[in-house]
């Protein structure tokens, strides 16, 4: 398969909503109850790209197969070197290595931004996601019990973390994605 990776744009919102839809409607992988509108998703893409990378993967017919992005871990300056990462794939393309490749692309941009810590918030018991993140070098660092409620039941979440580089005494300044030379 000849896939192509590129930076997402607001024009991708409709395709990304359709990838995200089954996760919202059928799983507790995301704790959103309602599928976002295309306009809301476009706004999310636009807002994310101000500070962080948002990447899509397309097939040879320019159909989007998945996406990954980084987001704020916490909204305080001391956390500038830490992000939360997310990846979603079309349900029928899992197992082809696209999630790994999306994360690898994402990490390359984050390193250029001087990001050092990656976090992933996963619904506990999602063995597929936990195993994927472990293969990508993440380790479990926290468990919050019965913190999310969806589909008439409580869910635990686990946090996983990956350090991209040794932590310096004084980190280089964080560079917003919108200021990176593409």
Q: What CATH number does the domain containing 78 carry?
A: 3.40.630.30
- Is 90 exceeded by the pLDDT of residue 26? yes
Enclosing domain of residue 53:
4-166
CB 144 within 8 A of CB 156: yes
In sequence order, the 6+-apart residues with CB closer than 8 A to the CB of 72 are 51, 52, 79, 83, 84
Mean pLDDT of all residues in 120-135: 95
- Is 80 exceeded by the pLDDT of residue 181? no
- Domains identified in the chain, total number: 1
For residue 44, how many C-alpha atoms fall within 13 Å in the half-sphere facing its CB? 17
Mean pLDDT of all residues in 62-79: 96
Token representation of residue 10? 């607001």
Q: Is residue 85 part of a domain?
A: yes
Q: Is residue 125 part of a domain?
A: yes
- C-alpha to C-alpha distance for 109 and 132, rounded to whole angstroms: 20
Mean pLDDT of all residues in 145-161: 97
Q: Is residue 171 part of a domain?
A: no
Return mean pLDDT, the chain: 96
CB 39 within 8 A of CB 95: no
Q: Tell me, what's the pLDDT at 1?
A: 63
Write out pLDDT tens, residues 84-127: 999 999 999 988 899 999 999 999 999 999 999 999 999 998 99
Q: Is residue 172 part of a domain?
A: no
Q: Tell me, what's the pLDDT at 94?
A: 83
Q: Is residue 94 part of a domain?
A: yes
- Is 90 exceeded by the pLDDT of residue 2? no
Mean pLDDT of all residues in 32-57: 98
Token representation of residue 145? 């019990």
Mean pLDDT of all residues in 63-91: 97
């Amino acid at each position: 398969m000849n896939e192509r990776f590129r930076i997402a744009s607001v024009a991708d919102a409709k395709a990304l909503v359709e990838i995200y839809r089954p996760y919202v409607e059928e799983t507790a992988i995301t704790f959103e109850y309602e599928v976002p509108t295309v306009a809301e998703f476009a706004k999310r893409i636009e807002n994310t790209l101000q500070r962080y990378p948002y990447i899509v993967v397309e097939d040879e017919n320019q159909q989007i197969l998945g996406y990954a992005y980084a987001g704020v871990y916490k909204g305080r300056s001391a956390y500038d070197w830490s992000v939360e990462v997310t990846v979603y794939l079309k349900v029928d393309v899992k197992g082809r290595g696209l999630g790994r490749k999306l994360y690898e692309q994402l990490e390359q941009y984050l390193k250029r931004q001087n990001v050092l810590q990656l976090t992933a918030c996963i619904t506990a018991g999602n063995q597929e996601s936990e195993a994927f993140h472990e293969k990508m070098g993440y380790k479990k660092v926290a468990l919050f019990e019965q913190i999310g409620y969806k589909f008439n039941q409580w869910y635990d979440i686990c946090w996983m973390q990956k350090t991209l580089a040794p932590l310096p005494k004084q980190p280089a300044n964080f560079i917003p994605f919108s200021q990176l030379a593409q």
